[in-house]
Amino acid sequence: MSALQVPQSSLADSLMSAQAVRQHSAAIMALAQAGQARHFTWHPERMALVSAYVSNVIRQRYPDLKVPYHSRWRHFEAGGVDRWAHVAREHGLDAQSVRLERARARVDLAVVSVLLDAGAGPSWQYKDQASGQTLTRSEGLGVASLRWWASGALSSDPHQPCRADAAGLERVLTADLGLAFQVSDTNPIVGLDGRANLLRQLALALKNNPDVYGRTDAPGLLRPGHIVDTLFRMAPTGQVRAAHVLSLLLHTLGHIWPGRHELDGVPLGDCWRHPDAPDGWLPFHKLSQWMTYSLLEPLEDAGLKVVGLDELTGLPEYRNGGLLLDLGLLQARDRAFHTTRWSVDAEPIVEWRALTVAILDHLAEAVRGELGMTPDQFPLARVLEGGSWAAGRQIAQAKRPGGPPPMHLDSDGTVF
């Protein structure tokens, strides 16, 4: 083994970080900047157009530029209804005296909801009886998961409905999820089996990591929300780095993803092969990073201060990545890219995702320039929310009926 080669076990561990996502993606970006990326060309002369487009979307959506974090909590507020606040009031979770339990409950909800958040497909919709709204895509998935969780379906204790625990999660059947999400022959959803299986795998992961998801004063009760207590133990000053939260999630929940690559028994999750990548691997950890972004508000509500937000990366999914294609910042070398049906591990898709991660950092800098903001005032988590994700959806709707992404993806409900 040469001095430049990394032992496989060390390599596996190094891939499980936001730093690796950014560094490995940057290597593909360097090739694109040199005109040598295999599947895409990079058109920096269009950056001003794209940053102006995104900045205009931000100003339309948030005229005061007070943009919240990109997270699952925005979807719970679909249609201007603060559903979480209603649930918290109804279940007595809104008082300051239950601040810690409220944070645990919010983490339970966010973790489960993110795992159910891969693309629903163009045909599915959810009728929210309480608000009278019919919702689709991410908003529909978010509200459906909130209603299901609040009903007590994921709790093993009927007297404590607002939680998700291992005993409740492991009994989830595909049919239960289908009923909760109003799935039928005329209302199909992508990847129903995969979503239900993820929740059962989450139960197993909680059981395998009782030091993170258990509490000594609640023996046998394993919940995602107990990560709040764990982080307080690990950060006595009350300050925790966003990258550390992600690392904890990656190392404790890594086994839940089906059919993924492993190195020396270490499951790599959302990490894929590409011949031009450092060590041959491109890690993304999209859903795990989305989960981390979605835990920021519950953790801050508990009294923890989350720092280093920009250590996390942009999310390589079809709204952010679609924006870059639809506005010509990236262009496929082969026009058949847009008409081919791709698997998530296909080399062009992996390369497109890496370029999306890297370009979002450049785009964030350009957007801050447009808005007159500093990175501290407007971290990537706000650029995404304001922002690139919403702009990606807007341009897709303008270009294609129903707003599908500019490529066709086969998804099992666990990546996109």
Q: Identify whether the C-beta of residue 295 lies closer than 8 Å to the C-beta of residue 245.
A: yes
Q: From CA 229, how far away is CA 214, in angstroms rounded?
A: 9
In three-state secondary structure terms, 236 is coil
Greatest extent of the chain over all pairs of C-alpha atoms, in Å = 64
Query: Which tokens sit at 353?
Result: 């995702």
pLDDT tens digits in sequence order for the chain, 416 residues long: 333 344 445 899 999 999 999 999 999 999 999 999 999 999 999 999 999 999 999 999 999 999 999 999 999 999 999 999 999 999 999 999 999 999 999 999 999 999 998 778 889 999 999 999 999 988 999 999 999 999 999 999 999 999 999 999 999 999 999 999 999 999 999 889 989 999 999 999 999 999 999 999 999 999 999 999 999 999 989 999 999 999 999 999 988 987 789 888 888 999 999 999 999 999 999 989 999 999 999 999 999 999 999 999 999 999 999 999 999 999 999 999 999 999 999 999 999 999 999 999 999 999 999 999 999 999 999 999 999 999 999 999 999 998 999 999 987 666 76
Q: Identify whether the C-beta of residue 57 lies closer than 8 Å to the C-beta of residue 390.
A: yes
pTM: 0.93
Q: Which is nearest to 367 in space by CA: 32, 50, 20?
A: 50
Q: What are phi and psi of 262, to 5 degrees?
A: -130, 150
